[in-house]
A and B are shown apart, each in its own frame.
Chain A
Amino acid sequence: MRIKTFGYFSREALISLRRNSWMVLASVGTVAVSLIIVGMSLITVMYANYVATYLESNVEIRVFLKTDVNEDNARALQDQIKSIPGVAKAEFINKDKALEDFRKDLGEQQNMIEALGGKNPLPHLYKVTTISPQDIVKVANKLQALQQTDQIKYGQGVVEKLFAITKWVRMVGLTVMVLLGLAAIFLIATTIRLTVFARRKEIQIMKILGATDWFIRWPFLMEGMILGFIGALIAVLIVDVSYAAFTDYILTELSFNIIGLNRDPRFLVSLGVALLGTGTFIGAIGSGISMRKFLRV
């Protein structure tokens, strides 16, 4: 395609976009909303997956021994625990170490430790990890059954819930996205149809003057692609701005980063590129449909 021809196509596309401003608004808006939902659910699903995998690989069973079990007897349990089928690792933590860890976790609020008056109320404990997450419940029951065990703790059901949420977000997101995507395609197709209709006389003259089919089609295809692109641009801006605001809030207000918030600009850029590509593609499909039906050249 010659540069000049490209200029002609863009000019024609822009002129007709101005002419149908209400349809343009509707189709751009729908593309934007559908892509905002796509973007947001992508981000949500990504984090939910991340958290789920993180938790899954980090689920450990903490076995708190009765306070009357002394350190030697406690250490002696190691082999017995390790011999339970499904156990991968059993790490002994004596109560002094446990207090030390607790102190570290508290950070600035050391006065809580001082309030204990130098006594250590914590028991000895084992941190047990299993070979696979499915073994957790079985192993936990065996550990509970030991006579030295006071209580055990592990993330009962958390992982399952997280995966359920991820699945749900993915499904709802996908459904809404597909429906809105179809609506966007339909609206773009209608906009293009109006343009084709408004310019049918010109199209007829172009045909008689010997314009090729693609020469006639390009402005309409470009028009649809511009619509999709503008909608996607709006979506990218909104998703990026609200994502930045969200991570800012989490990091400054809550000052902890449990889900490993990803502030990598490359991530936002590739998300943006994907959304822009999708929007432009939706636009091309919309005008493609319209041209097939109304632009028999």
Chain B
Amino acid sequence: MINFINVSMVYPNGTKALIDVSLRIAKGEFVFLVGPSGAGKSTLTKLIFREEQPTRGQILFNGKNISRMKPREVPYLRRSVGVIFQDFKLLPNKTVAENVAFALEVIEASRREIEKAVPDALERVGLAKKAGAMPSELSGGEQQRVGMARAIVNNPPLVIADEPTGNLDPDTSGEIMHLLQEINKCGTTVIMATHAKDIVDGMKKRVVALEKGRVVRDEERGGYGYED
């Protein structure tokens, strides 16, 4: 599904965030990205939904070369990637349901689709009862579940989560991981960048480790591999 071919990424200020990264991720996989702070995990995920563009190398998404994609095609790429953030990125002046519906409004879905898909997504993350609440009235874990509902509401084939549990306590993190696994079981590919050793070690999934912009380890059913 995703194929990085000798990808390098240098930020305009000269920081070499990724160096010659080659990586294949198949449909339906669950992949952890681990590594020290500044290793390039976030940069790698941003390349997939083209928030950033590689300086060298090719990135294929479902066979399509996204490094050579025209700007006007980018929105359609992004519609097939659901993104979950450490800081949730919810709109504070919209209700839970409106935040989730926003993902469909901006892609000009019909009112009927929205009325059907939003309650479904909230149901999947267990927040059906909070549909009318404002984000400020929710706990961190609940806010992150809203973020997840927004990411999956249009059934994207890929979900990217950048430190989704970074701001949450261990119990709440467990709930989030459980939901991500549920999403993955339904056939959605999941890529998650994290520092959470316990989670990675407990899940026995594929682990890709980055250090100073290079892939230094890629194991099926791997562990976190670093002392915190």
Q: Distance in Å from the Cβ of A149 to the closest Cβ of chain B?
A: 82
* B99 (CB) vs chain A CBs: closest residue: A205
The 9 closest A-B pairs by CB, nearest first: A210-B79, A211-B106, A210-B78, A210-B75, A212-B75, A209-B103, A206-B106, A209-B106, A210-B107
Q: Out of A4, A213, A215, name the residue touching B111 (CB < 8 Å).
A: A4
Nearest Cβ on chain B to A206's Cβ, whole angstroms: 5
**New contact pairs (7) apart from A206-B106, A212-B72, CB-CB < 8 Å:** A2-B108, A205-B91, A207-B75, A208-B83, A209-B102, A209-B106, A213-B75
Q: Which of B49-107 contact A (CB under 8 A)?
A: 49, 51, 71-72, 75-79, 83, 89, 91, 102-103, 105-107
- Residues of chain A lying within 8 A (CB to CB) of residue B105: 8
Q: Which parts of A1-18 form the interface with B (CB within 8 Å)?
A: 2, 4-5, 8
The complex places the Cα of A209 from the Cα of B110 at a distance, in Å, of 16
Interface on A for B, CB 8 Å cutoff?
Answer: 2, 4-5, 8, 201-202, 204-213, 215
**A208 x B107 contact (CB < 8 A):** no
Q: What residues on B are CB-neighbors of A207 within 8 Å?
A: 75, 78
Chain A positions within 8 Å of B111 at CB level:
4
Task: Count chain B CB atoms within 10 A of each CB in A205, A208, A212 and give the residue with the most.
Answer: A208
Residue among A5, A205, A208, A212 making CB contact with B49, cutoff 8 Å: A208
A-B contact pairs, 11 of them (CB 8 A): A2-B108, A4-B110, A206-B102, A207-B75, A209-B102, A210-B76, A210-B77, A210-B78, A210-B106, A211-B75, A212-B72
Assembly CA distance A212 to B110 (angstroms): 16
- Partner of A213 from the list B72, B77, B83, B91 (CB cut-off 8 Å) is B72
Q: List the A side residues contacting B72 at CB < 8 Å.
A: 212-213
Return chain A residues, CB-CB under 8 Å to B78.
207-210
> In the complex, which residues of chain A have a beta carbon less than 8 angstroms from the beta carbon of B107?
209-211
A209 to B94, CA, bound (A): 16
What distance in Å separates the Cβ of A296 from its nearest Cβ neighbour in chain B? 10
Q: Which residues of A contact B71 (CB under 8 A)?
A: 213
Q: Are the CB atoms of B75 and A5 closer together than 8 Å?
A: no
Most buried by A among B76, B77, B91, B110: B91
A215 B79 Cβ-Cβ under 8 A: no
Chain B minimum-CB-distance residue to A211:
B106
Known interface pairs A208-B49, A209-B78; A202-B91 also in contact (CB < 8 Å)? yes
- Kindly report which residue of chain A lies nearest to residue B103, judged by CB atoms: A209
Q: Chain B contacts of A2 at CB under 8 A?
A: 108
A5 to B106, CA, bound (A): 9
CB distance from B72 to the nearest CB of A (A): 7
Closest Cβ–Cβ distance, residue A33 to chain B (whole Å): 35
Residue of B75, B89, B105 ringed by the most chain A CB atoms within 10 A: B75
Q: Which residues of B contact A211 (CB under 8 A)?
A: 75, 106-107
Distance A196 CA – B150 CA, assembled complex (angstroms): 23
Contact of A205 with B89 at beta-carbon distance under 8 Å, contacts A210-B79, A211-B75 already known: yes
Nearest chain-A residue to B94 (Cβ)?
A202
Chain B minimum-CB-distance residue to A8 = B105
How far is B108's CA from A231's CA once the two chains are assembled, in angstroms? 31
Q: How far is the CB of B23 from chain A (nearest CB, A)?
A: 22
- When C-beta atoms are compared, the residue in chain A nearest to B153 turns out to be A209
Inside 8 A of B83's CB, which chain A residues have their CB?
Answer: 208
CB distance from A279 to the nearest CB of B (A): 29
Residues on A with C-beta less than 8 A from B89 are 201, 204-205, 208
Q: For chain B, residues 104 to 125, give those with C-beta under 8 angstroms from any C-beta of chain A.
A: 105-108, 110-111
Question: In the assembly, what is the distance between CA of A53 and CA of B49, in Å?
Answer: 68
A5 to B104 Cα, complex, angstroms: 11
| Cα of A202 to Cα of B93 in the assembled complex, Å | 11
In the bound complex, residues from chain A placing their C-beta under 8 Å from that of B108 are 2, 5, 215
Nearest-Cβ distance from residue A271 to partner chain B, whole angstroms:
39
Q: How far is the CB of A292 from chain B (nearest CB, A)?
A: 14
Residues of B within 8 A of A205 (CB): 89, 91, 102
